[in-house]
Amino acid sequence: MKHWQLSLIACVAGIAFGCGREPPPVTTAIEAEAARHLQAVEPRDMAQEVSRRPTFKWRLPASIGDPFVVSFKLFKVGDVDDPRRPGAPERQIAFASGLHTASPTQLDPFGPPSGCTLTGDLTDMTQLAPNTWYRWTVRAVGSGTGVEGNFHFRTRTEEATPVSPENAPSKPGG
């Protein structure tokens, strides 16, 4: 066989071999950049009309790998025009640690998972204040790298759906 015939056969074989495979996923530069950061899943950053008993969910970047520290903080910002404005008054009402083993990508602060330590004023609350801005922060450390994400949300006016007594979280010491 001649060189060009071998090249043609190799080319046809390469095309045939590639058929049936899915092409690699196409990601935009924005998606690739976002994948390197901690992302709010629920509630979304700057969401409004959020339940007064939210469950927080986030996505860790792949660079974290298997985290060995994941912590959560919740701050009450109040009734302001823009909670991101520097100098907006805020007060920390919750801190959760131990999430790396208990629940590294979500937290129900009104029913924290076993192994999680939750402290702050939130432990004495049944729901968040109405029509109020909050900031939540997640910090994760793993594989020699760390990330932190800060997100804001505003609660709705209506009360959260009541929790039945058998599903209500038990409070420490009572």
Q: Domain map of the chain by residue range?
A: 37-155
- Per-residue pLDDT tens for 142-156? 987 899 999 999 999
Bond preceding residue 43 cis, omega within 30 of 0: yes
Give the DSSP per-residue string, 41-88: EESPTTEEEE-SS--EEEE--GGG-S-SEEEEEEEEEES-S-TTSTT-
- Answer whether 0.85 is exceeded by the pTM: no
Domain 37-155 belongs to what architecture? Sandwich (2.60)
Average pLDDT, the chain: 84
- Per-residue pLDDT tens for 79-136? 998 999 888 889 999 999 999 998 999 999 999 999 999 999 999 999 999 999 999 9
Cβ pair 132, 26 in contact under 8 A: no
Token representation of residue 59: 């996505």
